[in-house]
Amino acid sequence: MTDPATAAWYLRFAEHEARGESAIYEEWALGVAADAGILALIAELPRPKQQPNLIFAVSRLLGAPEGPYGPWRDWLADHWDAVRAEALVRATQTNEPRRCAVLLPALALVPGPLALLEVGASAGLCLYPDRYSYDYDGHRLDPAAGPSTVLLECATTGNPPIPDAVPEITWRAGIDLNPLDLTVADDRLWLETLIWPEQHARRARIRAAMDIVSADPPRIVRGDATAALRGLAAEAPADATLVVVASAAIVYLTPENRARFIDTVTSLDARWISNEGVGIVPSVRDALQGVEPPRPGLFALGMDGRPLAWTGAHGRSLDWIRPR
């Protein structure tokens, strides 16, 4: 039995996420939304696994043709058992180093050196803001050791406090339910496959970031963000300021667990930065009541539960809103 909500999900994905980003994913999502046969197959999966991004990435991982809907649809129907099995063991864990470009001005507000702890770290690409180069509207910033192979470009408004130097990070660690290990070929391949078909520049950037991170792999503890936070935070060195970062991660917690996570993080001797959808951190949402975002679909960057900026998809823009 197909669920009209699944068709609506694919339609929404086509119109609000894929359009303008991936013509292939837009066509596939529109095709699925109107295809009772494929919707019936997808309905065999538990609801969270029916996610368009997951089904599309798994199909590409298994060799589906990246082109028009018709041949992709036939491939999917022929290979459905394999796709279903793979979707059940995979999760979308897109890790986007460019998000460091929106985190950097917030990190710069904290006196260093920093101990950086990321919850929902995936492969840890956002744990290395000190190893990337940045370009904010032509203002360039490089790591202390010189230009990085990864350049993160970010368009800004509102005069964000762009620092003169990348932060000094003396300790870094992450927590993830399912850490990806970039020294393992399959994890690397999955991370690459999560990048949408036409996003060639992004793929190149993420490959370069994966090389940086795999040369000095981070410690990422397998566990739940809330349950593992206090124990890992206790390991941070006392002579650094602990900063807990959550980027596109709190959204994955149930509302009750979000409240528990926020209680836990605020009880630590730490600063905390969130980069999440506007409704995800209640205090950020409440403070932004009545404030119009400059464009639809932006995330809200928060520091210690108070809003700082609007941020664009995958860190491409930063609209500062808090007076300095």
What is the binding site for ligand SAM (CB under 6 A)?
91, 93-96, 99, 119-122, 126, 175-178, 224-225, 247-249, 252-253
Q: For residue 22, what are its two tokens?
A: 């991936």
Give the separation between CA 100 and CA 175, rounded to whole angstroms.
17
For ligand SAM, the closer of residues 253 and 270 by Cβ is 253
For ligand SAM, the closer of residues 76 and 131 by Cβ is 131
Beta-strand relationship, 114-119 and 139-141: unpaired
Residue of closest CB approach to ligand SAM: 120
Place of tokens 């078909």: 197
Spatial CB neighbours of 179, under 8 Å, sequence gap ≥ 6: 121, 122, 123, 124, 220, 221, 222
For ligand SAM, the closer of residues 2 and 94 by Cβ is 94
Is there a contact between 135 and 151 (Cβ–Cβ < 8 Å)? yes
Give the separation between CA 318 and CA 156, rounded to whole angstroms.
5
For ligand SAM, the closer of residues 33 and 116 by Cβ is 116
- Least Å distance, CB 186 to ligand SAM, is 15
Q: 3-state DSSP: the chain helix, strand, coil percent, rounded to 5? A: 40, 20, 40
- Least Å distance, CB 234 to ligand SAM, is 18
For ligand SAM, the closer of residues 258 and 271 by Cβ is 258
- Least Å distance, CB 96 to ligand SAM, is 4
Give the separation between CA 12 and CA 18, rounded to whole angstroms.
9
Give the separation between CA 161 and CA 153, rounded to whole angstroms.
16
- Least Å distance, CB 9 to ligand SAM, is 17
- Least Å distance, CB 178 to ligand SAM, is 5
Is there a contact between 230 and 268 (Cβ–Cβ < 8 Å)? yes
For ligand SAM, the closer of residues 256 and 269 by Cβ is 256
Of 93, 91, 87, which is closest to residue 41 (Cα–Cα)?
Answer: 87
Spatial CB neighbours of 46, under 8 Å, sequence gap ≥ 6: none
Computed over its alpha carbons, how large is the radius of gyration of the chain? 20
- Least Å distance, CB 173 to ligand SAM, is 13
Residues forming beta bridges with residue 86, ordered by sequence position = none
- Least Å distance, CB 227 to ligand SAM, is 8
For ligand SAM, the closer of residues 175 and 318 by Cβ is 175
